[in-house]
Amino acid sequence: LGMDPVAFRRLNETDRNMVTGKPYTSRSLLACFEQASARFGWSGRNPVPGSMRDGDWLVGWGCATASYPASTVNCVARVRYDADGAAILQFAGQDLGTGAYTVFQQEVALRLGLPVGSVRVEMGDSRLPPGPLAGGSTGSATGCSAIALACDKILAELGIGPDAGAEARAAAFGRLNRGSVEAQGDYSPAGSKTGSTAGAYQGKPDFTGGVGGPKTMFSFGAEFVEVRIHARTREVRVPRIVGAFAAGRILNPRTARSQLMGSMIWGISSALHEATEIDKREARYVNDNLAEYLIPVNADIGAVDVILVPEIDTECNPAGVKGVGEIGCVGTAAAVANAVFHATGRRIRDLPITIDKLISA
């Protein structure tokens, strides 16, 4: 088409899913492209493939769209507030190292108006109410939606609304001079098949979101990548990558940024390194261990820049949260491939993009 990739997306932007016709609850894709392209310096790009060079290195710039369903599952959260000023959250979720304990603790503190240090989180015990899954970018959005329902019940029990100020909350909590107040938040996503949390107790999570509800719910992002390819050896390097992402209310900027950074590195790994090799004669995996399965090391990863684009979405779920687990990686390989094309003028459509493919192309 001869168009700049960012201008092409700007021209074809839409407010609804072009397949189903359903409107989006929120779609901040253009904001992601504007912020990421400015940070990356996209305006300095020569659009002619193979035109940018630094000594023996061919330089390519590429970009791509990232989108991922903003789904949640049925979940139950139990919250108790004690007269001594402490609160406890319980559900049978898990933290894989993504910061779930932190964001759930912060969410209870925010909803009840308590110091973060006065909230304790208990997870990882199947005797507790069925909690959120740590997968599919659903964990934080699901858990915080159930937490919101439970905390609203506690506030109602104490005679205050969720919008009450700090003084009103402190006064209400102060009147509880002994005992405790406990509530259970039974969260079932709008448009779910069962309409209840019964499946959660049976180990049958009901994923709802994306294109399944009355409106389309997605997180969006834009990724910009610079690659450098050696003119003689065809060695590929990624010195920098910039990603901007809009995922509803960001619970904790530090943990979200860290998770997105790791996801972008995962995407670079998928684009340039990872491949499962199979011995077809023996029907066995050849590289079935981390000693032979190629993944990037520190020397393979350059500057990783993450931008969190503010977004308010009050329709996706009670917490207004969309997941960030996968949105950081789904556009990376495409951005790398586009950058490789810009550097060489050759399209590589088979991942990973390795030296032999660049030589044969």
Alpha-carbon distance 105 to 66, whole Å?
Answer: 29
State the residue for tokens 């910009």.
224
**Does residue 276 sit in helix, strand or coil?**
coil
Alpha-carbon distance 117 to 214, whole Å?
Answer: 39
Q: How many residues does the chain have?
A: 361
The tokens for 20 are: 């189903």
Q: Do the Cβ atoms of 152 and 184 come closer than 8 Å?
A: no
Chain centroid to CA 163: how far? 28
State the residue for tokens 């399944």.
212
Alpha-carbon distance 223 to 30, whole Å?
Answer: 12
Which CA distances in Å does 225 have to 237, 256, 265, 340, 344?
Answer: 11, 20, 12, 10, 15
Q: Which residues pair with 222 in a beta bridge?
A: 65, 244
Residue 122 bears catalytic tag = no
Name the active-site residue from 223, 226, 311, 326. 326
**Furthest-apart CA pair in the chain: how many Å?**
77
**Does residue 182 sit in helix, strand or coil?**
strand
Q: Do the Cβ atoms of 148 and 319 come closer than 8 Å?
A: yes
Give the count of beta carbons closer than 10 Å to the beta carbon of residue 230. 15
Write out the DSSP string of 112-180.
Answer: HT--GGGEEEE-S-TTSPP---SSTT-HHHHHHHHHHHHHHHHHHHTT--TT--HHHHHHHHHT--SSE
Alpha-carbon distance 217 to 104, whole Å?
Answer: 22
Q: Report, as residue numbers or ranges, the catalytic residues.
A: 326
